[in-house]
Amino acid sequence: MRLHDLRHTVGTYAGQTGANAFLVRDKLGHKTLAMTGRYVSQDAGPLRELNDRVEQRIASALAGEATAEVLPLRQPARQKWS
């Protein structure tokens, strides 16, 4: 094992925690996202989950189902001017 291998592990684990590419780049001290991409092994799980949620929402909208609860706006309190 080399110290360089540990950088790959840190980059991969940081990506798996849900950190965005900019945070991983900064953690590893890279100047570019392209370099960070060489260190981070992508996990397909989060992308698959995101795709499933987006597809479900689109299917619900096409079926005419409500996708969110609409809440009424509260009126701001009136200010007294002196």
Report, as an integer, the average pLDDT of 6-35.
88
Beta carbons within 10 angstroms of residue 48's beta carbon? 10
Q: Is the pLDDT of residue 54 over 80?
A: yes
Burial class (CB in 10 A: 0-12, 13-18, 19+), 11: buried
- Dist. CA 24–CA 76, nearest whole Å: 42
Beta carbons within 10 angstroms of residue 39's beta carbon? 19
Looking at residue 15, the DSSP 8-state letter turns out to be: H
Which position has the higher pLDDT, 22 or 3?
A: 22
Which position has the higher pLDDT, 71 or 49?
A: 49
Q: Is the pLDDT of residue 26 over 90?
A: yes
